[in-house]
Amino acid sequence: MDKNINRIAALDWMRGMVMVLMALDHASAFFNQGRVANDTIVTHMVGSGFVAEQFFTRWVTHLCAPTFVFLTGTAMALSIVQRREKGMDSKAIDRDLFIRGAFIALLDIVVFSFLSGKLYLQVLYAIGVSMMMMALLYRLGKCVLLISALTLLFGGEAFTVLFWQPQGEVPLWLALTFAPWFSESFTVLYPVIPWLAIMMLGWVFGDWLITRKKSAWSVARVLLVGSLLALACFLLVRGFNGYGNMLLYREDHSLIQWLHVSKYPPSISYISLELGLMAIMLAAMLWLQPKIGIRPYGPILVFGQTALFFYLAHFPVLAMLTLFLERAGLGQAYLAAIITLAALYPVCCLYRALKWRYPDSILRFV
Q: What pLDDT, in 10s, does the model give residues 292-345?
A: 989 999 999 999 999 999 999 999 999 999 999 999 999 999 999 999 999 999
Q: Give the number of other CB atoms < 10 A from CB of residue 14.
A: 24
* Segments in the chain forming alpha helices (H): 3-31, 52-60, 64-85, 90-106, 113-116, 123-137, 142-163, 172-177, 192-211, 216-240, 255-259, 268-292, 299-305, 307-321, 330-357
Within 8 A by CB and 6+ apart from 187, the residues are 116, 118, 119, 120, 121, 180, 181
CA–CA separation, 42 vs 258, rounded Å?
A: 18
What is the amino acid identity at position 63?
L
How large is the angle between the packed helices 3-31 and 216-240, nearest 10 degrees? Answer: 40
CA–CA separation, 276 vs 240, rounded Å?
A: 19
- State residue 214's pLDDT score: 57
CA–CA separation, 177 vs 174, rounded Å?
A: 5
For the residues of 149-166, what is the DSSP string, one character each? Answer: HHHHHHHHHHHHHHH--T
What is the amino acid identity at position 42?
V
CA–CA separation, 132 vs 211, rounded Å?
A: 24
**DSSP code of residue 141:** -
Residues of the chain with pLDDT under 50: 1-7
CA–CA separation, 230 vs 228, rounded Å?
A: 5
Query: Minimal CA–CA distance to 125: which of 107, 144, 142?
Result: 107
CA–CA separation, 159 vs 178, rounded Å?
A: 9
